Structure 1
Amino acid sequence: MKPELIDVQSLPPEEKIDIDKVGIKGFKHPVTVLDREKGLQHTVAELNLYVDLPSKFKGTHMSRFIEVINEFKGEIHVKNVIKLLKKLSQRLSAKSAHLEMFFPYFLQKKAPVTQISSLMEYQGILLASYTEGKKDLIIGAKVPVMTLCPCSKSISRFSAHNQRSLITLKVRFKKFIWLEELIEIAEYSASSPVYSLLKRPDEKFVTEVAYENPRFVEDVVRAVAKRLWEHPEVSWFFVEVENFESIHAHNAYACIERTKSEF
């Protein structure tokens, strides 16, 4: 008869201090997420999963995180993530469980003039926690856009410097919000959207639209914040904008975080 293996994780630690979050980070796994047009979209996500750990235990059981993920067979999205966290907290006898999920999300996007369609990549964000019956759910997106400098336009005879920018927006919501809605809000707030495929008539259109719609990084973050505040289902939001400056050796940055009652 083989001797029973020692459960080292359940032994008492040298320093008896509660740990707020312990778990796995950077775990990549195929997932199925919700898609407004197609119903579902298959992608590959990077997952971070954590639980709390009481001071009486030396360690958590890392393998159980993977077991719970496997039981959901890749279907991890806003409508079932709390169920996953409940199971995780039960499996690990934890008071709280947390998930951070980041994934490429693709949409068919038409060029503005030629209407040629091609896939455009965005990044989806899902953050969730479950603590003794209380749940918290945040969805978000990272959206590349184009900005053109109002100051450069006003002082230059011929042109103005422009650049690609990245808008990150996250929201808490009262009722379900599609990821596509957040992407649209971000793109409408910039000088112009960006596209994966443009022909010459499209390039002309995009550059001229951006020139007629100059935006500082401050303008963009305020425009996104205003649209999120006006959205009836948003209860809290965080938005940040980073301009990858084309004529400076640094980037420009702005952010706004608000709960609706504070705005």
Structure 2
Amino acid sequence: MNAPERLALPDIQSQIDGRNIAIDAVGVNGVRYPITIASEGKPTSTLGTYSMTVGLSASAKGTHMSRFIELLEAAKNPIGQTEFITLGLDMLSRLDATYGTIEVKFPYFIRKTAPVSQVQSLLDVDVGWKAVVSTRHSPIFSMRVVVAATSLCPCSKEISAYGAHNQRSHIVIDAEINGDMSIEELISVAEQGASCEVYGLLKRVDEKYVTERAYDNPKFVEDLARDIAVALNAEHRVDRYCVEVENFESIHNHSAVARINNGAQRGNSALRHGCM
């Protein structure tokens, strides 16, 4: 018998489609694969969830879905921003496409040092990378981080005799980046805009510090969003961005939110409708 790989099997995807309608994006979504991230020179292994699509011409019946998985199988080395863009360009080559998008979301762990005791612990941050690639235009790379932080209410501090209410905040930054910028750097932008950072492990001396640090640095949700936007405006490696802050209120059964989206003013339709 002939070996299975030598059988002359029909290739339905490569047939001509007569409806003459191009498809903007076709591919795979929700693909979970191990990934090793290269950031600040330290390879970090984690689990990535991929979405990979390419444009399909009006005459092509279908794309070759198996080649998306082959792409991930071939990626053996740690992946940074440059390698991720190269992965996207390789995707176009494998699928004979002129444009496409590759996205991956993954939990990323940073090692943090407590402010007084200096004890160390890991803190998880949700990270996303996206590369829009084309054979005709320069690639566009964007990075998204979801960073936990502390905010303390200025109004509560002003009117109260015994303290002020605070809450945990989620800061989302979705930034289009034109040069090498590490995950840690973008996380730092978010943390520096908050009333105080959060840590995985704190001793009592650290708890005293973070409590007083937040009290001395009160911020409304609007303040967090604006201060982070100021920092991003000053960063030459960031072209367009969306910042969204959600405060999980401690005195209400609802959240407070604020969003600044400079992509809308600069014509980037990919960032016009929030940071998700």
User: Could you state the TM-score of these two structures normalised by the residue count of structure 1?
Assistant: 0.90
Q: Please report how far the alpha carbon of residue 74 of structure 1 lies from its aligned counterpart in structure 2 after TM superposition.
A: 5.5
Q: Are residue 106 (structure 1) and residue 132 (structure 2) matched?
A: no
C-alpha separation between the residues in 1 aligned to 2:42 and 2:88?
Answer: 23
C-alpha separation between the residues in 1 aligned to 2:20 and 2:136?
Answer: 26
C-alpha separation between the residues in 2 aligned to 1:224 and 1:67?
Answer: 39
Q: Please report how far the alpha carbon of residue 218 of structure 1 lies from its aligned counterpart in structure 2 after TM superposition.
A: 0.7
Q: Is the 8 A contact 2:88 2:133 kept in 1?
A: yes
Q: Are residue 52 (structure 1) and residue 55 (structure 2) matched?
A: yes
- Please give the per-residue CA displacement for 1:5-62, whole angstroms capped at 9, x wherever unaligned: 33333345585422111111111111121222x4322221111111111232333221
Amino acid paired to 1:231: E
C-alpha distance 117-6 of structure 1, shift in aligned 2 (>3 A): same
C-alpha separation between the residues in 2 aligned to 1:207 and 1:14?
Answer: 67
Q: Please report how far the alpha carbon of residue 140 of structure 1 lies from its aligned counterpart in structure 2 after TM superposition.
A: 2.9
- Please give the per-residue CA displacement for 1:182-221, whole angstroms capped at 9, x wherever unaligned: 1111111001100110111111211111112111111001
- Please give the per-residue CA displacement for 1:159-203, whole angstroms capped at 9, x wherever unaligned: 322111111112233331121111111111001100110111111
Q: Which runs of 5+ in 2 are unaligned?
A: 267-276
- Please give the per-residue CA displacement for 1:73-109, whole angstroms capped at 9, x wherever unaligned: 2533211122222221122121212111111111211
Alignment RMSD: 2.1
C-alpha distance 11-246 of structure 1, shift in aligned 2 (>3 A): farther
C-alpha separation between the residues in 2 aligned to 1:159 and 1:33?
Answer: 42
C-alpha separation between the residues in 1 aligned to 2:130 and 2:151?
Answer: 28
Q: Is the 8 A contact 1:114 1:202 kept in 2?
A: yes
Name segments (4+ residues, structure 1) moved above 6 Å.
none
C-alpha separation between the residues in 1 aligned to 2:19 and 2:249?
Answer: 48
C-alpha separation between the residues in 1 aligned to 2:148 and 2:18?
Answer: 48
Give the one of 20, 27, 32 matched to 2:24.
Answer: 20
Q: Are residue 160 (structure 1) and residue 164 (structure 2) matched?
A: yes
Amino acid paired to 2:222: E
Give SS of 2:144's match. Answer: strand
Deviating more after overlay: 91-100 vs 221-230 = 91-100
1:230 is matched with 234
Amino acid paired to 1:165: S
Aligned residues: 260
C-alpha separation between the residues in 1 aligned to 2:188 and 2:53?
Answer: 32
Deviating more after overlay: 214-223 vs 83-92 = 83-92
Q: Is the 8 A contact 1:237 1:258 kept in 2?
A: yes
Q: Is the 8 A contact 2:38 2:79 kept in 1?
A: no
1:128 is matched with 131
Percent of paired sites with the same residue: 42
C-alpha separation between the residues in 2 aligned to 1:236 and 1:193?
Answer: 25
User: Could you state the TM-score of these two structures normalised by the residue count of structure 2?
Assistant: 0.86
Give SS of 1:197's match. Answer: coil
Q: Is the 8 A contact 1:125 1:141 kept in 2?
A: yes
